[in-house]
Structure 1
Amino acid sequence: MKTDKQLQKDVMAELSWESSINAAHIGVEVEQGVVTLSGYVDNLAQKWAAERVVKRVGGVRAVAFDLAVRLAGADRRTDTDVALAVVNVLDGASTIPKGAIQVTAEDGVATLRGEVIWDHQRQTAESLVRGLHGVANVINMVSIKPKVSLMAVRSEIEAALKRRAHLDAQDIHITVEGDAITLSGKVHHWIEKNLAIHSAWSTPGVRSVIDKLVFV
């Protein structure tokens, strides 16, 4: 097992190695395997890239962010320009219904509100906005709108789990309460766990998936 000092060294080296990140102003602290990033980066894309970089370092147990986005003068845009850019990129997304998501912008922070049918639409919207020039942060308040009764598709979820080659559906239990799905029982690998969660989120109308799966 790596010491905190070695882990700090590895994280700093990985951040410096990643060409998409200017790590000159990023501080790294490690305590019991928990990595804290502080300081600032030049744009939101670098902030999210830093998260991905740290998570791929072996030995990292968790990541805490105290990392600010400090836009340079050339990267700053008015809130009107930011809002227009967000609206345009969302309107151009074929998987997101036009007008489903409303946008506000304040001090470079884009807030998304509205309702969509699928969770992947909610995630796609946030991902698209993150990469826009002049956006300092994204607050995703988009909710999932139920399309059909979850009880009616419970059998379909179980069937989807059984179709997965890596998944033993007999050890996974599914309960439905309102618009929430709870997965419990046993899995043998991370791939089984991820497939089960993905199948649950793929159900129209799901607002939350509670993961109580355990490894055996």
Structure 2
Amino acid sequence: MSKTQEQIKKDVVDTLYWDARVDASNIKVSMEDENSVKLEGTVPSYSARSSAVRDAWMVSDVNFVKNEIDVEYPPELKLTDEDIKSNIESKLLWSSSIDSSKIDVSVTGGIITIEGAVDSYWKKLHAENLASEVAGVLSIDNKITVVPTEDFLDKTVAEDIVEAMDRNFNINVNKVNVKVKNGVITLTGTVSSWTEYRAAMNCAENTPGVIDIKDKIKIEY
């Protein structure tokens, strides 16, 4: 049985307060329509903002999250753009998965732009995740290009993604459609939960030969 709007709102609020990564004291939760959640307010870090959105999506019967949370760091945190840039570059340098010499980082007023090239799509996401963990970050514009070190046939990439989904017990592979053109993946169809959605996305994100992903999957409870 579907939840009421009040039940959904309560579950989102409870999940935010449960998550130790999120200071939910300044987050307002409201319902825009039957299954659409709106998050407003402030959090003390960029990573907390990302976690808050994921928390809302994890609640059953939520099929859309509108994120209007702002990042406001404590006044005592005094970091210059150069400090932030240096800290991100150090994170990338110490990562065994990223060739940091091929990544450029620029920072303007806490807004991060990362550019360059990696050989796998998951590495593009990993670089952004590393940057998101650094204090002082307000937002991230990920302009990294994926350049595979070998050629992949679109048909092979599509088959690999579908087979990965078929092996995953969280996914009904018959309800997710995969199309590949020049390494760009388009995912369509419907899934029944955030868990199934993330499982499907992970299958695409971690498949060799993927250059970019167009996510058109819908969550329908």
Q: Normalising by the residue count of structure 2, what TM-score does the alignment of the two structures yield?
A: 0.78
CA distances 1:119-150 after superposition (whole Å, capped 9, x unpaired): 11101111111111222222211121243333
Letter in 2 for 1:94: S
Could you say if the C-alpha distance between residues 154 and 132 of structure 1 is closer, same or farther in structure 2, counting changes exceeding 3 Å?
Answer: same
For 1:69-84, what aligned pairs fall within 5 Å after superposition?
69-84=71-86
Q: How big is the shift at 1:2?
A: 1.6
Q: 2:26 is matched with which residue? A: 25
CA distances 1:66-116 after superposition (whole Å, capped 9, x unpaired): 100011122231000001111111111111113111100111122111111
Q: Does structure 1 residue 51 correspond to structure 2 residue 53? A: yes
Could you say if the C-alpha distance between residues 179 and 51 of structure 1 is closer, same or farther in structure 2, counting changes exceeding 3 Å?
Answer: same
How far apart are the structure 2 equivalents of 1:19 and 1:87? 27
Q: How big is the shift at 1:18?
A: 2.3
Deviates more, 1:139-148 or 1:25-34: 139-148
Q: 2:135 is matched with which residue? A: 133
Q: Does structure 1 residue 99 correspond to structure 2 residue 117? A: no
Q: 2:183 is matched with which residue? A: 179
Q: 2:212 is matched with which residue? A: 207
Could you say if the C-alpha distance between residues 118 and 55 of structure 1 is closer, same or farther in structure 2, counting changes exceeding 3 Å?
Answer: same
How far apart are the structure 1 equivalents of 2:27 and 2:141? 23
Count of aligned pairs between the two proteins: 213
Structure with bigger gyration radius: 1
How far apart are the structure 1 equivalents of 2:204 and 2:114? 25
How far apart are the structure 2 equivalents of 1:192 and 1:29? 23
CA contact (8 A) 2:176 2:217 kept: no
How far apart are the structure 2 equivalents of 1:109 and 1:91? 20
Q: Normalising by the residue count of structure 1, what TM-score does the alignment of the two structures yield?
A: 0.79
Letter in 2 for 1:106: T
For 1:131-210, what aligned pairs fall within 5 Å after superposition?
131-151=133-153, 154-155=155-156, 158=159, 161-162=162-163, 165=167, 176-182=180-186, 194=199, 198=203, 202-204=207-209, 206-208=211-213
Deviates more, 1:125-134 or 1:9-18: 9-18
How far apart are the structure 2 equivalents of 1:15 and 1:120? 27
Task: Please state whether the residue corresponding to 2:70 is helix, strand or coil.
Answer: strand
Could you say if the C-alpha distance between residues 131 and 192 of structure 1 is closer, same or farther in structure 2, counting changes exceeding 3 Å?
Answer: closer
Q: 2:6 is matched with which residue? A: 5
Q: How big is the shift at 1:168?
A: 10
CA distances 1:30-65 after superposition (whole Å, capped 9, x unpaired): 022110001111111211121122122222111111
CA contact (8 A) 1:21 1:50 kept: yes
Identity value in percent: 23
Task: Please state whether the residue corresponding to 2:76 is helix, strand or coil.
Answer: helix
CA RMSD, 1 decimal: 3.6
Considering Cα pairs closer than 8 Å and 6+ residues apart, tell me whether 1 or 2 has the greater RCO. Answer: 2
Question: 5+ residue gaps in structure 2?
Answer: none
Could you say if the C-alpha distance between residues 157 and 122 of structure 1 is closer, same or farther in structure 2, counting changes exceeding 3 Å?
Answer: same
Task: Please state whether the residue corresponding to 2:142 is helix, strand or coil.
Answer: strand
